[in-house]
């Protein structure tokens, strides 16, 4: 599992938990199978949820980088929040 190290431990824990949750959701989507579109939609949802959690943590903890994650959310889900 990928993890981040950050001076702000609250942010670090939030992002690491969000990443773990994302990985579990992606694995579950793949294991559940179904059409390619169904699997991709479930993965897209997991990715968007991850980015939203990271954005919220950046804002709540005063951690820079929020804009990068908003761009990633937009790239995945077509929305900024």
The pLDDT of residue 74: 98
Q: CB of 69 within 8 A of CB of 15? A: no
Q: Using CA atoms, how far apart are residues 44 and 62, in angstroms rounded to an integer?
A: 27
> Using one digit for the tens of pLDDT, what is the confidence trace for 4-28?
899 999 999 999 999 999 999 999 9
Long-range contact pairs involving 20-25 (C-beta distance under 8 Å, separation at least 24): 21/46, 21/49, 21/50, 21/53, 22/46, 22/47, 22/49, 22/50, 25/49
The pLDDT of residue 3: 85
pTM of the model: 0.93
**Token pair recorded at residue 12:** 């670090």
Name the more confident of 47 and 4: 47
């Amino acid at each position: 599992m990928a993890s981040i190290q950050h001076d702000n431990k609250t942010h670090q824990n939030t992002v690491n938990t969000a990443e773990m949750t994302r990985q579990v959701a992606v694995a579950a989507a793949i294991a559940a199978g179904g059409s390619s579109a169904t699997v991709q939609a479930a993965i897209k949802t997991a990715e968007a949820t991850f980015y939203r959690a990271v954005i919220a943590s950046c804002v709540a903890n005063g951690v820079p980088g929020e804009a990068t994650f908003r761009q990633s959310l937009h790239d995945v889900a077509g929305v900024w929040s």
